[in-house]
Structure 1
Amino acid sequence: MITQMAAASASSALHSMSFLLLLVATSEATMLNITNRCSYTVWPAAVPIGGGMQLDSGKTWNLKLSGLTSRGRLWARTGCSFDRRGNGSCQTGDCGGVLACKGYGRPPNTMAEFIIGQFNSTDFFDISFVNGFNVPMDFLPVPAQGGTGCSKGPRCAANITSQCPSELKSPGGCNNACTVFKQDRYCCTGNAAYNCEPTKYSMFFDQMCPDVYVDSMDADWNKTFTCPLGTDYQVVFCPQIDLTTSPRTGLTSKGRIGLILGTIVSFILITAFIIFVIHRRRTRWHQEMEGGEDELWKLQGRPIRFTFHQLEVATEQFRDKLGEGGFGSVFEGKLGGEKIAVKRLDQTGQGKKEFSAEVQTIGSIHHVNLVKLIGFCAEKTHRLLVYEYMPKGSLDRWIYCQHDNDVSPLDWSTRCKIITHIAKGLSYLHEECTKRIAHLDVKPQNILLDDNFNAKLSDFGLCKLIDRDISHVVTRMRGTPGYLAPEWLTSQITEKADVYSFGVVVMEVISGRKNVDTSRSEESIHLITLLEEKVKYDNLVDLIDKNSNDMQAHEQDVIQMMKLAMWCLQIDCKRRPKMSEVVKVLEGTMSAESNIDHNFVATNQATFGIAGNVTSSVPSSVPPVASDVSGPR
């Protein structure tokens, strides 16, 4: 996926890997034919090329993308009012009240996103309304059915406004619940920037507009479309759902009745289809979960197998929630007088393979910097994991400086200790087990802290085992946007993907901010891209956490740690260090490599450093066995 390309909405699928891609200029121009078929006026906005105009109903605007433009966004603003000088505002997709947009608009807006001529002269494009739904939109190659080498192009022609609560109504569509209510439980779509969870609204949107990204964690490649370089495109606001009917052809009374009846029948069929799909998915999930019990019964010794009733009692009916993870919620409990953390997996998240992988992997290895798995429950459709209790929670709570966060900034020595512990945990996984274990989801949310700020890696649901006699594994994309190594674009992965993620985490710990932070100015949204700029002009000191006087006092030591992070962030995975070498640098027994490339985001697959024509491992669907992962303790 080419996701998260430029950043105002960390949620859009085109954004999730922008910090991996430095997009270079192309020499050819592309034409966008923009037509407004809405019954009202829209003011299209486009960045970074600028542009915008009043586009009345039925009018067309041809926008030429210059040869210096390789990426961009296009959306419709509605309810705009401007004075003679061009100052004013819009009710949706606002862009500072100017026609020639240079920045990203405020939601809600249905966003067309594109990358022109990247990766073997290929255009990538999609439509997203992760930040709220504005007006229906088509983004199609010219001709609409696509030329040679083109995929069909994304469409969202359905009027889904009626599915939004009245509080979310906005001119042209559905507003963003995050910005309206400022409460996570009301979120209309799963916007990662607001820690939102998808709701019933986003589920309906996804069914009505299957070509469109509606969720920040949406990783469906089928929603990203491609064409050869040089293709032109047509953008249509409020396109007709039935393309066989001319927009200028009026309907007779009989035609209107037929249209109304057809709409009602279509709605009933769509609703029935949605119910059928949900039922089938739940049935399949139940069968998958129940079918996995036999396999888990074979586990000998640790971890302990609990009944669901035992964990209900231990958590007092799951009363005290500690937090939410990627696949479920974590609750505080007590067993034999000792506190425990119980992760209860939801029925739409982690599946049999991921659950089995976590139980069998972490249940068979032991290290002081890995969270201990005490036991598990696999009873009918119930899937729970029981961990040792980590009183200070996850690392993200302690390093991201937020106004609503009452914790004090960590001092330099504590941050060093946490970084060292993460490195030792990864070194054990990569180099001391019978098979190499790639964690593949290293991020602050998966690093837990005890009372003394000792750090431990957790959440092994996405881990991958790699035989020591092969160079890499071929696996589907997994992990979290913002921490993915460049080689994920090839799906050929080694444990060095963890090293890249570790480098991102180190930079977050040092700077006290998220790698992708859309609340910042456009040039500062991506920390790793910003790192490239700062090292180029020898201004690394600018990245040190300004909320901590102790960090400022250790300026030179912090900069040396940044240099270690940059070694880990090499695009060519073969140039990254092994984690055991990272540990030696942190312990002062060796120096970090000084001859490194100061580009940390990828421009093409040739630089990823993946060996070719080498036997890959077994498919990811084959679960690990205890003998694969057990090794030196």
Structure 2
Amino acid sequence: MVQEVRVAVHAGLGCEPGRAGLRPGHPATSRVAIAADGNLVLVNEVNDLVWSTNVTSGDDRATVVAVILDTGNLVLRRTNGHGESVLWQSMDHLTDTWLPGARLGFNKLTGEAQSLTAWINSGDPSPGVFTLGIDPSGTSAQYFITWNRTVTYWASGEWNGEIFAGIPEMTAHYMYNFEFVSDANGSYFSYSLQDPSIISRLVVSVSGQITQLTWVPSAGEWILIWTEPHRLCDVHAVCGKFAVCDEKSQPFCSCLAGFRAASPGDWDLGDHSLGCRRNNPLRCGTTATGDKDDDDGFLLITGVSMPKNGSILVRASGDRDCRSACLMDCSCNAYAYSDGCALWNGELLNLQRQTDESSGASNLYIRLSAMDVPSKSSSKKTITLSCAGASAALIIAILLAMAFVVVRMSSRRRTKRFTQALQRGNLVAFRYSDARKATNNFSEKLGGGSFGSVYKGNLAIAGGADIAVAVKKLEGLRNIDMGDKQFRNEVRTIGTIHHVNLVRLRGFCSGRRGERLLVYDYMPNGSLDKSLFSASGAGAAAGDVLSWAARYKIAIGAARGLLYLLKGCRDCIIHCDIKPENILLDESMTAKVADFGLAKLVGRESSRVLTTVRGTIGYLAPEWIAGVAVTSKADVYSFGMVMLELVSGRRNARWSASCSEYFPLVAARKVREGDVAVLLDERLDGEADMEEVDRACRVACWCVQDDEARRPTMEQVVQVLEGVVAVDVPPVPVSLKVFTDDAADSCFSGDDECSSQMKGSS
């Protein structure tokens, strides 16, 4: 099926007329047409030519048409007595979008590169500064993202015939077939889809990341499959000069103190390339110390990484000498003194908000005009206080004392009510100041994930010991249409859910400025991923490795917690984000499922955003991608993937030298062969109940079946793990089979050996 172009062409399909160098007119009045010379042209509201394909049809008697194929390719086609021929096609002129079938590469004969270039911003399709292209030298089978076509800040890694070395999570994307071709004419990559009915595209975003997107008809939206670089702040100069990148904030770019956005309008459209500019110009080095009120000064910037554009090392005996050296150099904009004196000349790039408190970064001092340094600007002002008389002072003192007594009594009454509510197990509505005080102004960060960051805190209880808590700052709620009343109702519903294998919700906060906090019991042993993946290698100390008995106990506990959410609650709660990071461990290593109910609270699309936690895609059931309705069986699939990681002690989507295949596929095969011992974490040295290992592997492989009807319920999973029922050997899921060419070891749904189903007897 094809469609004739009559009015306009969608830029995202690979043809963007605005890139001809001229800006189109207003979209509502511009039009696309076939000109008399056979070219496809774009004209503005006064019929001025904006863009043309600039080809020659060569035959005045030929009929020329423009069509959009089902592949998304816009084709200018000539028809005459000799047949049809293609004059021009959009897939030969890539812009920011790479569709299946298009080639991304390098023409060795013409020297022309077929690359992707991001838009300038979300409102201007003209070429921006970020480009994705293949290695132009042709010496390696990989592609790069570059800034301004000069700085390479990300590489895919070499192509090994199945995946790119730098994108290990491609092991989970069985829906794509990538191909690399290199010959005398050129080198290029192309890709296709296993299921032609799926709509997918790869885009270089205005923020400098490449994103693979798939259209979900049932949701009516594009969902993110994977993105590179994973961390937005790893994009070179993503926020421009004199700006700080912080992935946890919105917007993610902010100017340094003493600076403002160089182009606020572009910032609103996502274009930060111009960065920030000074509020006031520098006076520039009239003295060597900067002690005079009119001299330039320095402002200490904490919590940010050092600029990545090269610094100059100079000799200095201390911080004061280093400071003077910067002041004497008119091009110096910052300095840091640690083991030596480092000066930064010119623009400061790639500053990042530092989340790792143990990074040990040096203090960075930014050079500012005296008017922008708080200590100097305040010294220029004289504040004069006058007293009306002794009687007035006495009245004020009495009023202050009365106010203090009233506030103190009110605080004591609130503390008493607060303590009684906590001791009764009631859900408490905290004030934002309570949470800030309990967490020491959110100073000790425990971790972060899809729904926000978590901080450790202590609640002071009157007449008793403090209660350790974990305070989660919910992020991404500002874009969700949820009022304060609705938020409180949803949280109260979550707060009524109590189970030994679920993290207990103590309270919540809904601040006046939109802050949304949840207060949970603190889990001293952290999340499962830290205990399971922290020690690596066969030589790791025994004390660092989670024992098999502990792992099996954790598996049963997590399964019971999920079963309660799906069956024990009044309303079924689908978690939507089961992974080791969301299984917490208390002081006795009892598993407690966390973040339940947040999919409804924050919006399920948040669990589809896969940029914040690497590997999350490996836990998503196929129905998330296929666009069909998601049921509780999606949690069963995710739990199966976690079970396999408990057995192996490593990430499913991570490759290793000893195993070049996707681990769930290896596990499915070995279970059918009856050789589950080889799947066990080598750090355990075989110290495990092999009957439990076999039981865990079998139920895990049933959980990750493609067809959700073939997956067990969580009730069946618990029964199998507890040894109440037996389970047959599962077939190898088709989605795992596509990672190998060995068809003999596979099991398709039509095979006889796949006819057996899960069964059990009490």
Normalising by structure 2, we get a TM-score of 0.45
Checking the alignment, whether the CA contact within 8 Å between 2:579 and 2:638 is kept in structure 1 is: yes
Q: Deviations over 1:324-375 (max 9, x none)?
A: 2323221111112111111122366784659558623320111111100000
Using the alignment, how far apart are the partners of 1:275 and 1:544 within structure 2?
A: 49
Match of 1:484 in 2: 620
Match of 1:568 in 2: 703
The answer to whether structure 1 residue 339 and structure 2 residue 468 are counterparts is yes
Using the alignment, how far apart are the partners of 2:588 and 2:600 within structure 1?
A: 30
The answer to whether structure 1 residue 422 and structure 2 residue 564 are counterparts is no
Match of 1:307 in 2: 431
Q: Which has the higher contact order (CA 8 A, sep 6+)?
A: 1
CA RMSD of the aligned region, Å? 5.3
Using the alignment, how far apart are the partners of 2:202 and 2:431 within structure 1?
A: 46
What secondary structure does 1:482 align onto? helix
In structure 2, do the counterparts of structure 1 residues 533 and 497 end up closer, same or farther at CA, with 3 Å as the change threshold? same
Q: Deviations over 1:109-131 (max 9, x none)?
A: xx998753543555633235799
Using the alignment, how far apart are the partners of 2:107 and 2:271 within structure 1?
A: 42
Map 1:376-525 onto structure 2 (within 5 A): 376-380=508-512, 381-401=514-534, 408-463=544-599, 478=607, 480-488=616-624, 489-517=626-654, 520=656, 524=660
Q: Deviations over 1:477-510 (max 9, x none)?
A: 8455221222222341221211111111111111
In structure 2, do the counterparts of structure 1 residues 115 and 346 end up closer, same or farther at CA, with 3 Å as the change threshold? same
1:366 to 494, 498, 507: 498
What secondary structure does 1:385 align onto? strand
Gaps of 5+ in 2: 1-70, 74-85, 116-130, 145-150, 168-177, 179-187, 214-221, 223-227, 239-244, 254-261, 273-423, 609-615, 739-747, 750-762
Counting matched residue pairs gives 412
Match of 1:323 in 2: 447
Map 1:565-604 onto structure 2 (within 5 A): 565-594=700-729, 596=731, 598-599=733-734, 601=736
Using the alignment, how far apart are the partners of 1:584 and 1:507 within structure 2?
A: 18
Checking the alignment, whether the CA contact within 8 Å between 1:328 and 1:349 is kept in structure 2 is: no
In structure 2, do the counterparts of structure 1 residues 114 and 200 end up closer, same or farther at CA, with 3 Å as the change threshold? farther
Q: Deviations over 1:298-348 (max 9, x none)?
A: xx9931111111112211222211112323221111112111111122366
Give the residue type in structure 2 aligned to 1:362: I
In structure 2, do the counterparts of structure 1 residues 371 and 544 end up closer, same or farther at CA, with 3 Å as the change threshold? same
Give the residue type in structure 2 aligned to 1:370: L
The offset of 1:412, in angstroms, is 0.7
Matched-pair identity in %: 32
In structure 2, do the counterparts of structure 1 residues 547 and 274 end up closer, same or farther at CA, with 3 Å as the change threshold? same
Using the alignment, how far apart are the partners of 1:563 and 1:584 within structure 2?
A: 13
Using the alignment, how far apart are the partners of 1:539 and 1:202 within structure 2?
A: 52
Map 1:177-326 onto structure 2 (within 5 A): 198=247, 270-271=266-267, 273-274=269-270, 302-326=426-450
Checking the alignment, whether the CA contact within 8 Å between 2:576 and 2:635 is kept in structure 1 is: yes
Q: Deviations over 1:439-481 (max 9, x none)?
A: 221111111101111010111244469xxxxxxxx98684552
Give the residue type in structure 1 aligned to 2:588: N
Q: Deviations over 1:234-269 (max 9, x none)?
A: xxxxxxxxxxxxxxxxxxxxxxxxxxxxxxxx9775
Map 1:164-179 onto structure 2 (within 5 A): none
2:134 to 77, 92, 104: 77
Give 1 or 2 for the bigger CA radius of gyration: 2
Using the alignment, how far apart are the partners of 1:593 and 1:102 within structure 2?
A: 32
Checking the alignment, whether the CA contact within 8 Å between 2:469 and 2:519 is kept in structure 1 is: yes
Give the residue type in structure 2 aligned to 1:325: G
Using the alignment, how far apart are the partners of 2:437 and 2:430 within structure 1?
A: 11
Checking the alignment, whether the CA contact within 8 Å between 2:246 and 2:252 is kept in structure 1 is: no
Checking the alignment, whether the CA contact within 8 Å between 1:343 and 1:386 is kept in structure 2 is: yes
Mean Cα deviation higher: 569-578 or 340-349: 340-349
In structure 2, do the counterparts of structure 1 residues 415 and 349 end up closer, same or farther at CA, with 3 Å as the change threshold? farther
Which structure's residues are more often strand, by fraction? 2
Checking the alignment, whether the CA contact within 8 Å between 2:472 and 2:519 is kept in structure 1 is: yes
Using the alignment, how far apart are the partners of 2:237 and 2:189 within structure 1?
A: 18
Map 1:552-567 onto structure 2 (within 5 A): 553-567=688-702
Q: Deviations over 1:277-315 (max 9, x none)?
A: xxxxxxxxxxxxxxxxxxxxxxx9931111111112211
Map 1:147-166 onto structure 2 (within 5 A): none
Checking the alignment, whether the CA contact within 8 Å between 2:506 and 2:520 is kept in structure 1 is: yes
In structure 2, do the counterparts of structure 1 residues 397 and 56 end up closer, same or farther at CA, with 3 Å as the change threshold? farther
The offset of 1:80, in angstroms, is 3.0
The offset of 1:580, in angstroms, is 1.8
Give the residue type in structure 2 aligned to 1:394: S
Match of 2:164 in 1: 104
1:119 to 191, 195, 216: 195
Using the alignment, how far apart are the partners of 1:538 and 1:434 within structure 2?
A: 41
What secondary structure does 1:331 align onto? strand
Checking the alignment, whether the CA contact within 8 Å between 1:328 and 1:344 is kept in structure 2 is: yes
Gaps of 5+ in 1: 1-27, 39-43, 62-73, 140-152, 154-174, 179-183, 191-195, 205-265, 277-299, 466-473, 608-633
The offset of 1:379, in angstroms, is 1.9
Checking the alignment, whether the CA contact within 8 Å between 1:34 and 1:60 is kept in structure 2 is: no
In structure 2, do the counterparts of structure 1 residues 102 and 595 end up closer, same or farther at CA, with 3 Å as the change threshold? closer
Give the residue type in structure 1 aligned to 2:568: E
Using the alignment, how far apart are the partners of 2:158 and 2:470 within structure 1?
A: 50
Using the alignment, how far apart are the partners of 1:450 and 1:202 within structure 2?
A: 36
In structure 2, do the counterparts of structure 1 residues 460 and 351 end up closer, same or farther at CA, with 3 Å as the change threshold? farther
Using the alignment, how far apart are the partners of 1:534 and 1:350 within structure 2?
A: 46
Normalising by structure 1, we get a TM-score of 0.53
In structure 2, do the counterparts of structure 1 residues 540 and 96 end up closer, same or farther at CA, with 3 Å as the change threshold? same
Checking the alignment, whether the CA contact within 8 Å between 2:545 and 2:683 is kept in structure 1 is: yes
Checking the alignment, whether the CA contact within 8 Å between 1:448 and 1:455 is kept in structure 2 is: yes
Q: Deviations over 1:32-71 (max 9, x none)?
A: 9986899xxxxx9x99x9997646544789xxxxxxxxxx
Using the alignment, how far apart are the partners of 1:450 and 1:89 within structure 2?
A: 45
Q: Deviations over 1:85-144 (max 9, x none)?
A: x9999996778889x97762659xxx998753543555633235799669xx9x9xxxxx
Give the residue type in structure 1 aligned to 2:506: I
Give the residue type in structure 2 aligned to 1:340: V
In structure 2, do the counterparts of structure 1 residues 58 and 596 end up closer, same or farther at CA, with 3 Å as the change threshold? closer
